[in-house]
Amino acid sequence: MNELAEINRNIPLPLYYQLKENLKKAIKRDFAPGDKFYSERQLAEMLSTSRLTSNRVVNELVNEKILYRLHGKGSFVSGVPDKVKTFNIGFMVSRRLEKLDMLQGGVNSVQRLIYTKNICAKFGYSVLFLSEGEKNAEKENLVKLIRKIDGLIIMGDVKPELIKFFSDQIPTVIMDGMILDGVDCVLGDNFAGAHENVGYLIKNGHRRIGMIYGSLTVASFRERIDGYKKALADNGIEARDELVVKGGGLVENGYRAMETLLALKNPPTAVFASNDIMAIGAMKKITDAGLSVPGDVSVTGFDDIESVSHASPPLTTVRFDKAKLAEVSMKHLMAKIDRKSNRCAMERIPVELVIRESVANILPTTN
């Protein structure tokens, strides 16, 4: 029974709910209908919790008709019924991305939520938004919403232990976030996109190329760094630590990172920002310093958000089909919901380099 007490105080779900879900799995595995269940006192001892918590857990199991009580005799097992389909899908965004979107005006999450909503509608499903809550009220709300969904799509760097908890309870797919063993994941081909992006800079004569990176808790940013370094290595260029600068997810992060790069004794002639938001910040810093893009410093980005085609100059960046990302994520989730697949799978969405006007060719001209 040790696994019953395996609760995680670092995830935003009430302890009673985690204990109840653990008990439901144990009932399904170890008990038959009609078997006598543990008393509340026994549960409190076994789970190292209070009688109040064990009482709440048992009451909820009774309300869900998994247990029933006989006066004076205790609680008995009814069974764990199969969940009735709700035709709702949950869409959860990490707290970090929520905060960034509030500052950015919903550049990423809202757009992908809309794509997901449209794809879900084709399957006859509605979408409910879930917040990775921390306050008690948010925790209770999260529990209520879990009961109303058949599956969950997670975007961003939600805590791995929370993702694992969800995936043990309901079908779960990670969309453009982290890579986690045992959970389906759908990503853009970040490595290939970064490799092609930096390779394009090298073809245009740049050899001292800076990079501004984002949160390393997200697999996509780590893969973009790997693609950057591999492109340099493939062309015999040494990767230099001073040229790789931490940014974030905001325009000002790109601005400050570019400030660091320009302050170097030998600044880069080109900079690859691992998302378009930071690329915009980098371009602003370059112009504020009295320099020009691409005349003095070339800049590229990643994501192809709508605004960058109208930037001055229009930004060269990597595009991947976000509607396709939502479609493939939903297909993975439907396979889990309909029990057509029990295997964990990872799938990557192809990307393409969109060449605009933010890169200068600095190769020497031949007469």
Sheet holding 298-300, edge to edge: 244-246, 209-213, 270-273, 298-300
* Three-class SS state of 283: helix
Within 8 A by CB and 6+ apart from 150, the residues are: 83, 85, 86, 87, 88, 89, 125, 170, 171, 337
Per-residue pLDDT of the chain (367 residues; tens, 9 = 90+): 455 556 677 777 888 888 888 888 888 888 888 899 989 888 888 878 888 988 998 998 998 888 999 888 899 998 777 777 899 999 998 877 777 665 555 556 677 788 888 989 988 899 998 877 666 666 777 778 888 899 999 988 888 888 988 888 899 999 988 888 889 999 999 999 999 999 999 999 999 999 999 888 888 899 999 999 999 999 999 999 999 999 987 899 999 999 999 999 999 999 999 999 999 999 999 999 999 999 999 999 999 988 888 899 999 999 988 889 999 999 999 999 887 666 778 899 999 999 999 999 999 876 5
pLDDT at 197: 98
pLDDT at 3: 55
pLDDT at 4: 56
For residues 65-77, b (16+ Cβ closer than 10 Å) or e, as one string? ebbeeeeeeebeb
pLDDT at 135: 61
pLDDT at 302: 95
Instruction: Give the span between the Cα atoms of 273 and 86, in whole angstroms.
Output: 42
pLDDT at 160: 87
Cis peptide preceding 350, ω within 30 of 0:
no
Phi, psi torsion values for 201, nearest 5 degrees: -60, -40
- Structural domains present in the chain: 2-77 (1.10.10.10), 88-188+322-349 (3.40.50.2300), 190-320 (3.40.50.2300)
Put simply, whether the predicted model's pTM sits higher than 0.95 gets the answer: no
Count of CA atoms in the C-beta half-sphere (13 A) of 301 = 30
